[in-house]
Each structure stands twice: as C-alpha cells, then as structure tokens.
Structure 1
C-alpha cells in the first residue's frame, strides 16, 4: 500500500469510527459517504480486472457513483467486521467491493465495452469489424 493509500485508509477508518451506527441517519454517516466517495472511488482512470475475469478493463470517474453504492452496500452489510479491521484492510475491502465485485465499476465498464450486446457468455471472444468486412464475409 502506498503512502497516499495509507492516508486514504486512515481517513475512511476515522470516518467510520466517528459514525455511531450505520443503520441510523446522522451527520457522521453523511460524512462517511463523502469520505468513501473521495477516498475510495476512482477519480481518474484505472485498469481493473473484475473478479472471475482475466482481462482488465478501464474504469473512469464516470463509474464513481456505482463504486460508491457498492462500497457502502458492503460497509452496511459488514459493519461489525469493518470496525474491527485495520485501516489498510478496510480500504482494500471497500476498493474491491467498489471496483471488482459483481456490480462494481469494472463490470459496468465491461458492459459499456460490449455496447449493449446481450447473450455473450463469459470467456467468449468479441471482435469488432467494419460493416464492409461483414458484407464481404
């Protein structure tokens, strides 16, 4: 973990520990959402390999909203465990939930890359060709 990531991990842990309970609205919980958005979610672009895949996809800040929702869903579901984790482990769990899991940004970017195609089984190759090449085939 880089020095910058350590700082981000500490900020997320502080915000979580400042929040009395996640199942009750509070200013601290609202702040936690903002801290997770600012410290965990993608802000530029990154290459991410979704779980179960072997190919990396490019994730950008356009996917940050999906990442925030996935990270916070994980946090709400695992609150007790999250409070016991070390800051670096918490950060890793949240980043993984945000980017690599089933509804994370890497899956969203993968779906975007398929441009709405359906019926493509995992592992099947997709090749883009020009219309002229298809007509000649």
Structure 2
C-alpha cells in the first residue's frame, strides 16, 4: 500500500476574519482530511497564523508576516511585498514544489484587509488553490 505524501489531519472549518477555525465534527466522530486537501488546509493555516504566534509551542518561525502590512498603505510596493511574504511562506512547506501564482487584493477602499489567492504545484505535480481572507482586526 502506497503512503500518502500529504498526510492526514483533523479537518478544520475556517471562518472569515480573525475568528479562526473549528474542528469539523461528523455524525459520530471528528472528521479528517487527507491528500492534496490536507496540503491546502496546512497552507491555509500557515497563512492565517501570524509569525511567532506559536513560539510558546516551540514553533517561533511558523506563520506568515502578512498582518505586518495590514493597516499600512496597500500601494503597489506593499502589495508586492505581501505577495512575496505569501510566496515565501508557501514554499516553507516541503510538500510544495512551486508557487505558480499569487494574487493579493485589498478588501475595499479602506484597505484594512486583503484576500489572497494562490496556486501551488505539489511535489507530485498536481496543482492546488489556496484562498485566505485577512482583516486588520
């Protein structure tokens, strides 16, 4: 039997903004997620967690720096920096071979949050889409 290179984890249900995620419960047990879907979930978490937020758990470098720029003018240079932050964080996962595309779009004219859409190529050659929405709050 071949092993899944992307692993298995508990399925999370993400809510928009800073509210976070909850475990998904099935009829009689917690749900799990495997394969490419697990990779997408792991990458989503990487982008939603702020860098250093898990330092107390022994993971000081885990997480993104996206929120460092929320609240700053989301002009062309800062949007490019956000794209770079996203690309760097996605590539930290050893199951990602390439980041194919990253788009960062401010929510509205207040620019107090961004929507991120990325396409990655996994180590097995398949592509996956990662989407997160981050608010300044």
Q: What is the TM-score of this pair, normalised by structure 2?
A: 0.34
Which structure would you say has the larger Rg? 1
- Between structures 1 and 2, the one with greater helix share: 1
Higher relative contact order (CA 8 A, sep 6+): 1
